[in-house]
Amino acid sequence: MKISIRIDQKAALLQGLELGPRAVIEITKDQAGAHWPAIVESLINLAVTPAESSLPPVATDTVAAFLEMMDQQQAHADAKTAEAKIVSDKALARLRSEVEAREAALREPLRETYEFSVVNRHSSQLSRTSGPRIKSFIREIPAVSCYSRWGFTSDGVLQENMPEWEALRRRADELEAQNRSEIEAANVSALQEQAAVIDAYWAQVDSAEAQRQAEKEHAQQQLLTKRLQSGCWEKDTHAYNRKRYSSPWCAKVTFPDGPKAVYEFGQSSGDRGEAGVMRVPCRAGEIVAWGQKDFRNSNGTTHQLAVMEQDGSMTNVDRVEAYRRFSRREQEIAAATVAAAPVI
């Protein structure tokens, strides 16, 4: 068979040969020996005579140089195959030992611990939070190094080793699921045994929450009573950036001449930029407004109107509702005045 081979012209010149980029050699099957299948596979165009080989270039246009190149290429391929086999065998051996370690860990009993507490009264969820320490069970099994962020990875495993690899992978997952199942069952049973302790804890939590709620409602009622008795509305203000915001303001709002609002501004304590208290006279049924201007962003400017209810609470309203509430109150006052007038 005649084969067109590529010439490494630089290597040829170093040997004192002047050869072109390609040369033709004639080689027989006997000469090729074990390399014959690789030579045939490398031929990219058997319809052309001589056929062109896709093998690496050689330094001389001789059959001996070509066969030497084939020996080197085969040795390199054998070395890569042996290296890949070593890597694959190591990966399999590591996974096999990790699965065996998991199996050994699962033969050990669950470990009792009191480092967790119950955080959800409707489930068996456990957490390291405040609350009574609850007896629970844990068991840690060895990690599997072949897990990646996205799952199991088989990098470096040869195709011939994949059946055993997949079987070990499935076994590792089964052992992890078995461990989780045993821990969950033991913890559910432990929670049932400690139901009285858990119920007592949640009863204490409910009692404390009810007490806090009662204190909050009492404080709110005291605030409303004080507001009704004083005839004034007050609101605390917080410290602010005086270069960005105006001083907070408050006012009593009336509509004496139709829908146009009239603001009677109240008082505000505290230096500019500092916390303080806003105060304006207001009784049940009357309207107040408060706000603060944001010089950098108009969306940050606040302007809120509110009506004082009969119990002293405040209901936020818009301008239209504020006008309606004011007009209705004026009508009720006028009607009461007429009704109270003596009959002549």
| pLDDT tens profile 80-100 | 888 888 888 888 899 999 999
In this predicted model, what pLDDT tens digit does every residue of 186-229 receive, in sequence order? 988 988 898 888 888 888 888 999 999 999 999 999 999 999 99
pLDDT at 5: 73
pLDDT at 46 over 60: no
Give every CB contact of residue 298 below 8 A, 6+ residues apart in sequence.
none
pLDDT at 25: 76
Of 42, 36, 52, 59, the closest CA to residue 3 belongs to 52
HEC string of 284-336 equals CCCEEEEEECECCCHHHCEEEEEEECCCCCEEEECHHHHHHHHHHHHHHHHHH
Segment holding 76, helix H or strand E: helix 63-106
What average pLDDT does the segment 130-143 reach? 87
pLDDT at 252: 95
CA distance 256 to 326: 9
Of 21, 25, 24, 23, the closest CA to residue 10 belongs to 21
More confident of the two residues 106 and 60: 106
Structure token pair of residue 84: 């890949």
Fold that domain 231-340 belongs to in CATH: Immunoglobulin-like (2.60.40)
CA distance 201 to 69: 82
**Domain residues of the chain, as ranges?**
2-61, 87-193, 231-340
pLDDT at 310: 92
CA distance 61 to 3: 11
Of 128, 123, 121, 86, the closest CA to residue 200 belongs to 121
Tell me the residue type at 303.
H
Structure token pair of residue 117: 């507490």
Averaged confidence pLDDT in the chain: 85
CB contact at 8 A, 92 and 161: yes
CA distance 234 to 107: 69
The total number of residues written for the chain in this structure:
344
- What are the phi and psi torsion angles at 74 (to 5°)? -65, -40
pLDDT at 96: 92
Question: How would DSSP label each residue in 214-230?
Answer: HHHHHHHHHHHHHHHHH
Question: Environment class of residue 273 by beta-carbon count within 10 Å: exposed (0-12), middle (13-18) or buried (19+)?
Answer: middle
Q: How confident is the model at residue 53 (pLDDT cuts 50, 70, 90)?
A: low
